[in-house]
Amino acid sequence: MAAQDFFGLDVGTSSIKAVQVRKDGLVSKLVTAGYIAVPSKRVLSESSVDQESVAGAISKLVSSLKISTGNVVTALPESQIFTRVIEMPILNDRELASAIKWEAEQYIPVPLTEVNLAWQVLLRPVKVEAESKMEVLLIAAPKVLVEKHVRILKMAGLNPVGLETEVVAATRALVDKASPTTAIILIGAYSTDICIAKMGILSSTRSIATGGEALTKAIAQDLGFDQAQAEEYKKTYGLLENELEGKIMATIKPVFEIIAGEVKKAILTYESKKSGEQVKRIILGGGGGKLPGAIEYLVSEFGMEVQLGDPWFFLEKGAYIS
């Protein structure tokens, strides 16, 4: 397979997104990108009919974007896999390969025979001292989940060449070596992923079962709206306290505070383990990251720079991309 002869696909719970990038020397160029909505939770379904429907939506999206390859790399939903950054004694690659399964049993709450296990060395100190440790990203994906995703991709006529996690993909897209230590918050429909990256390298990660749908549900219940109407009010007014007398903000703020609280825990845990280091910036991503007023709210809560994630920042756009 030629270098960069694949495209990226994100199969979310409410939409499917695709992007194709090409390398031109040292420059990454955006060729095409787009998304298509899918019925809520159909992606999570085990029904063969629903899976065929998702595969059909993927095929439609790929065709409409005129993607030039059938090779695809996709991300597995963080809430359904086990991801952990662990510390281990400093080992070479051969020693690590032998030791990792024993180490994984301490962190993975299911039998290792039921998961596909992968790992990556994030930090291996060059100067070894008595207390030196290496940091390893440990990922365990349930085999049934992997098989389901591969099956859907093949039903769509695609050739899956790689699977990774959402936080790994997001970290690569949103920060680089020159970035300050950053907390990345990815607010999805049904879950929120929180990770911290230093110099572009993932250092910690966690996932909580609270996302954009919880905000919508709160509006629907408190104000008597149907789901579609509540979703529109959320997207329009969000956490803006000066809109609609602050009624929408008052309704969803307790739910958003759950997310903010988990971010605080993640930052405190990181800073307590990394003596003298501080998180300098927060990046918001995911569909829920566009919530009106969210940036202002987080700035007031954390007292640091907060910005909306820009996955196109490191890319050069093609001539016909606006």
| CATH number of the domain to which 138 belongs | 3.30.1490.300
The predicted model gives 212-227 an average pLDDT of: 96
Domain annotation covers residue 315:
no
Q: Are residues 295 and 220 in the same domain?
A: yes
- The string of pLDDT tens digits covering residues 56-86 is 999 999 999 999 999 999 998 888 899 999 9
Q: Are residues 41 and 170 in the same domain?
A: yes
Determine the structural domain holding residue 169 and report its residue range: 7-78+144-174
pLDDT of residue 319: 52
Best CA proximity match to 142, nearest among 123, 174, 165: 165
Full-model pTM: 0.87
pLDDT band for position 315 (cuts 50, 70, 90): confident
Q: How many angstroms separate the CA atoms of 301 and 40, rounded?
A: 32
pLDDT band for position 41 (cuts 50, 70, 90): low
Percent of the chain with pLDDT over 70: 95
Could you write out the DSSP letters of every residue in 248-302?
A: HHHHHHHHHHHHHHHHHHHHHHHHHHSTT----EEEEESGGGG-TTHHHHHHHHH
Which of 115-119, 131-135, 217-221 is least confident?
131-135
Domain annotation covers residue 313:
no
The one-letter code for the residue type at 232 is E
Q: Are residues 159 and 73 in the same domain?
A: yes
The residue ranking higher by pLDDT, 138 or 275, is 138
Domain annotation covers residue 208:
yes
Best CA proximity match to 19, nearest among 27, 31, 11, 4: 31
Q: Are residues 46 and 154 in the same domain?
A: yes
CATH code of the domain in which 293 resides: 3.30.420.40
Q: Are residues 197 and 265 in the same domain?
A: yes
